Amino acid sequence: METVLRVAYVYILLMLVLRVMGKRELGRLSPFELVLLMLIPELFSQALVREDFSMTNATVAFTSLVTLVFATSVLAHRFKRLETLFTGHPAVLVSDGRFVQNAMNEELVQPGEVYSELRKAGYQRLSDAKWVILENDGKLSIVPMEKNGGNAPQQDDGPV
């Protein structure tokens, strides 16, 4: 049972660390950071298996981790509050062609990143976007401004 508790502890610790890092950071890991992230389990392996290299203990540790991942998915699916806790929620970074500064600051997104994604999507100005949304997976979604003239913003931030 101690192995199950150790695996649960490491799982919760890693989930919290990755959650604090923020959704944008996971999408922007350098190769070094990715390798470091992959080595974290190795750093904990001796603590997880208490230097016991038996197949039984390794199987218990693996099964515990898979069970925790599955339980997290089930709980997030069943309870909306837990889903938000585990995965976060999308953040609106641009609304009606204007930056939402509080969201930009909270998510640590620079205006240049938004402009870059706008250019990649074929838009010339910030005012071309009704909304720019930072999704849970760290990607930016762009909802274009409607062309019927009813949603034209009063201010144009110039070219992207």
Query: What is the tens place of the pLDDT at every residue in 68-99?
Result: 777 887 888 898 888 877 777 889 999 998 99
Specify whether 58 is located in the same domain as 131.
Answer: no
Task: Tell me the whole-structure pTM to 2 decimals.
Answer: 0.55
Residue carrying the six token digits 């997880």: 48
For residues 150 and 103, is the Cβ–Cβ distance under 8 A? no
Q: CATH code at 109?
A: 3.30.240.20
Q: Choose one of 87, 113, 130: the last residue of a domain.
A: 87
Quick one: 62 and 98 in the same domain? no
- 40: in domain: yes
C-alpha pair distances (Å), 28 with each of 21, 24, 77, 84, 159:
11, 7, 27, 22, 26
Are 71 and 99 in the same domain?
no
The number of folded domains in the chain is 2
Residues 54 and 114 placed together within one structural domain of the fold:
no
Averaged pLDDT, 43-65 = 62
Q: Over the chain, what is the mean pLDDT?
A: 75
Tell me which residue range forms the domain holding 129: 91-144
Helix, strand or coil, per DSSP, at residue 28: coil
* Bridge partners for 98 per DSSP: 95
Is the Cα torsion angle 81, 91, 69, 61 positive or negative in sign?
Answer: negative
Beta-carbon contacts of residue 56 (< 8 Å; ≥ 6 apart) = none
Is residue 76 domain-shared with residue 35, that is, in the same domain? yes
Say whether both 30 and 77 belong to one domain: yes
In this structure, the answer to whether residues 95 and 83 fall within a common structural domain is: no
Instruction: Mark whether 105 and 51 lie in a shared domain.
Output: no
| Residue 152 in domain | no
Integer Cα distance of 149 and 145 in angstroms: 9
| Residue closest to 93 by CA, chosen among 79, 80, 111 | 111
Is position 96 within any domain? yes
Whether 150 shows a pLDDT value over 70: the answer reads no
Q: Is residue 46 part of a domain?
A: yes
Q: Do 67 and 111 fall within a single domain?
A: no
In a domain, 149, yes or no: no
Pair 27, 80 in one domain: yes
Please tell me whether residues 14 and 29 are part of one structural domain: yes
Residue 151 in any domain: the answer is: no
Q: What pLDDT does 111 receive?
A: 92
Q: How confident is the model at residue 32 (pLDDT cuts 50, 70, 90)?
A: very low
The pLDDT assigned to 108 comes to 87
Q: Are residues 65 and 98 in the same domain?
A: no
Q: Which residue has the higher pLDDT, 45 or 46?
A: 45
